[in-house]
Copies of this chain bind each other. A is one copy, B any other.
């Protein structure tokens, strides 16, 4: 393998950083449109090939998104890459689902507590809509995994701590992409009951209630998951 050589790599890296600086100096937000290739070539004074390499790296990092025929935009993924935890490369995944849930148990009760203090009216309304949609999914017997994770993500956003919000996004999307076991766990655990309680806690600004209801919700999930793991271990003996 002899691509790329050090000199051109370093020029690509400088250009990549230059584009990042361009974005952050202007405080551009997801969906904002970037200048054209020709305009960037004037700014950076590099070759078209170098600029395109830089764009490709930023697309791979989910910073930019190229829409055919319309141009280059800030990605809705806000620079949070796919599989940010590198879970693809943790090979023994029998207990990975439990490791992930244990981390959620460390964070989400406190997240719910903060959301009860900091949620805006608009966020509370969106939580109500999601709880209503959850009810409909369960009544109709359709999959509610998306509505479920969207609710947890919204609670994290409502915490007001932006690092928590991004970490939750990472944990929740990692679960969806990497863990099959949680999907059937979620069908059985008492999701609707606890989502409704957490919603009411947050609406009533009951921070203690939100803490303990989220604790219960995730602990029931954990209990179910541990039982499943034991069944699997016993059946493989």
Known pairs A1-B71, A68-B6, A79-B83; A167 contacts B89 (CB<8 A):
no
Q: Which residues of A are interface residues toward B (Cβ below 8 A)?
A: 1-6, 20, 23-24, 27, 36-37, 52-53, 55-57, 60-61, 63, 66, 68, 71-72, 77-91, 96, 99-100, 102-103, 106-107, 110, 161-164, 166-167, 170-171
Residues in chain B near residue A96, CB distance under 8 A = 162-163
Copies held by the complex? 2
> A17: shortest Cβ distance to chain B, in Å?
10
Q: Which of B68, B107, B164 contacts A5 (CB 8 A)?
A: B68
Give which listed residue, B1, B5, B99, B162, contacts A163 with CB less than 8 A.
Answer: B99
Q: Which one, B1, B4, B166, contacts A85 given CB within 8 A? A: B166
Given contacts A60-B61, A71-B1, contact A99 B164 (CB under 8 A): yes
Distance in Å: Cβ of A32 to nearest Cβ of chain B: 11
Residue of B with least CB distance to A52: B3
Mind listing 11 A-B residue pairs with CB under 8 Å? A3-B55, A4-B56, A6-B68, A60-B60, A81-B81, A84-B84, A85-B167, A85-B170, A87-B166, A96-B163, A163-B171
Of the listed residues A4, A24, A96, A162, the one surrounded by the most CB atoms of chain B closer than 10 A to its CB is A162
